[in-house]
């Protein structure tokens, strides 16, 4: 039986995985990142962007520079 902690760890591991994918997709352009995020739940999208910023601030800054409207993707 899963506990809340196990579910939380599983969710966070998934978010970290998607954040890494988003970081890699920056090189392919804004639309590639947006496409990936569109497949996730709102909670996952928010987690991915937080992890993205923490893990790779330079690429996050590049994304924000190229897509200042990125916060609209979170809805």
| Closest by CA position to 49, among listed 21, 7, 27 | 21
CB 73, CB 45: distance < 8 Å: yes
Single pTM value for the model: 0.84
Render pLDDT for 21-74 as a digit per residue (tens, 0 to 9): 999 999 999 999 999 999 999 999 999 999 999 999 999 999 999 999 999 988
- Where do the domains of the chain lie? 8-74
């Amino acid at each position: 039986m899963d506990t809340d902690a196990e579910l939380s760890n599983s969710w966070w591991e998934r978010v970290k995985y998607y954040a890494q994918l988003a970081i890699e997709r920056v090189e392919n352009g804004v639309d590639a990142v947006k496409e990936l995020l569109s497949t996730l739940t709102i909670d996952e999208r928010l987690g991915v962007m937080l992890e993205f910023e923490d893990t790779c601030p330079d690429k996050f800054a590049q994304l924000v520079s190229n897509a200042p409207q990125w916060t609209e993707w979170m809805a």
